[in-house]
Structure 1
Amino acid sequence: MKALPIGLKDLYYAKLLTDEQDGKTTYAPPKRLAGAINANLNPNATSTTIYVDDKPDETVTSQGLLEVELGIDTLEKVTAAEIFGYRIDNRGALMEGNSSNQPYIALGFRSETTDGGYKYYWLYKGKIEPPGEEFQTKGESVEIKTGSLKGSFISRKSDEEKKTTMHSNDPDADPEAILNWFKAVYEPDFTTSTTP
């Protein structure tokens, strides 16, 4: 049975703490970002064909920025301050000034699939643009305005990884990894075990 996406839930972020070439990438514990409405991932891949003797001989592909568009319900003040590099003053106001301190984050979520399972995602290193705001006076019928976020994700310096997925119904999927998916940003395991 095909596993087509039919849902979206559990939108999390984790602040990136360190990302060193030939080293490690570390994250703060994941936190809930917002209520999820929709998501669109665009890998921006390009391909170039090399022609030799008047015919295609080789194709080279490259991946660009992984662009993300999210529909959400609303961002809590503390979450907005953390992901955009804003400050909260002593009287509770969100100060949306210079966001030069905006951190990189990892973004995680899961999507229910038609085979009764879930496909789990982590995007490893990116920044989210501060959202625009739209307002409209109330008329005879009330129109609810939801939020939207856009972000760009790049490869980590430590291992060049950009995105990972795991499907709960994949026979190779580690049940413990699925269980802990939102407790910590998933890290790949390429170790090989040998049986004596």
Structure 2
Amino acid sequence: MADSKISGKVVEFRGCDNLVIAEVTADDKENEYTAGAVEVLAPVATVSKTVDNSTETHFYDNTGMLNIRSEGSDEVTLTVPVLSLIKLAKLIGKTVDEETGAFIDGDAEERYFALGYRLKLTDGTYRYVWRLKGTFSIPDETSETENDGTDTNNQELTFTGIKTITVFKKDNKRAKAVVLDERDGKCDLAKFFDKVQTPDTISALKKSV
């Protein structure tokens, strides 16, 4: 009889922090992928990711023999405090008048960002994430009348992540994200958020002699 016990430590997600962005400055077949300086986006309360995918089964001889899977974009939902107008304008490609500070809600400029964050696990370790290319949707804003209670409203940002056009040398593929788990103990994570990490820039831990 096979052993039914699950080996290894069971962990769950319990926390998130270090929400950062960097604007994607190049991503095409002629140039390598590049991104600008990393900057803090906002304190973060929740991070939630879903993947747009579909699977279709093909039948032969009255039997399902082949699954065809299609993987689309990632959707990352972030709960954050109310952003400044300057930060909001940058994320969604709008403008702020320098003289008056007025947010001008006109035509949007197409801007792509890389998104980084950490997810804390119940054993105290972290999962490190860089999503390499995506856009932010215009967030909804809700504010209710003030009363004697303690209710307030924050903002919810939606980041839609897609694959890069750039094909990385590491595995000769395009990529949507680089995700590393501290528990594996294989990668040098000390400067993970100093710049956007790609499959070609992540570094393995140096083995002691």
Q: TM-score, normalised by structure 2?
A: 0.84
Paired residues of 1:35 and 1:74 also in contact (CA < 8 A): no
Instruction: Tell me how far apart the structure 2 counterparts of residues 32 and 55 of structure 1 sit (CA, whole Å).
Output: 52
CA RMSD of aligned residues (A): 1.7
Please tell me whether residue 180 in structure 1 is matched to residue 191 in structure 2.
Answer: yes
Which of 62, 67, 86 lines up with 1:59 in the alignment? 67
The alignment partner of 1:44 has SS state of strand
Counterpart Cα distance in 2 of 1:185 and 1:94? 29
Alpha-carbon distance change, 78 to 5 in structure 1, aligned in 2, over 3 angstroms: same
Matches within 5 A, 1:38-187: 38-89=46-97, 90-99=99-108, 101-159=109-167, 160-172=174-186, 174-175=187-188, 178-187=189-198
**SS of the residue aligned with 1:119?**
strand
2:45 partner SS: strand
Return the structure number with greater relative CO, CA threshold 8 A, min gap 6: 1
Q: CA deviation at 1:98?
A: 1.2
Q: Counterpart amino acid of 1:107? A: L
How many aligned residue pairs are there? 187
CA drift of 1:125 comes to 0.9
Partner of 1:64: helix, strand, or coil? strand
The alpha-carbon deviation at position 190 of structure 1 amounts to 8.7
Runs of 4+ in 1 over 6 A off after TM superposition: none
Identity %: 24
1:194 maps to none
Contact kept? 2:132, 2:198, Cα under 8 Å: no
TM-score, L = length of structure 1: 0.89
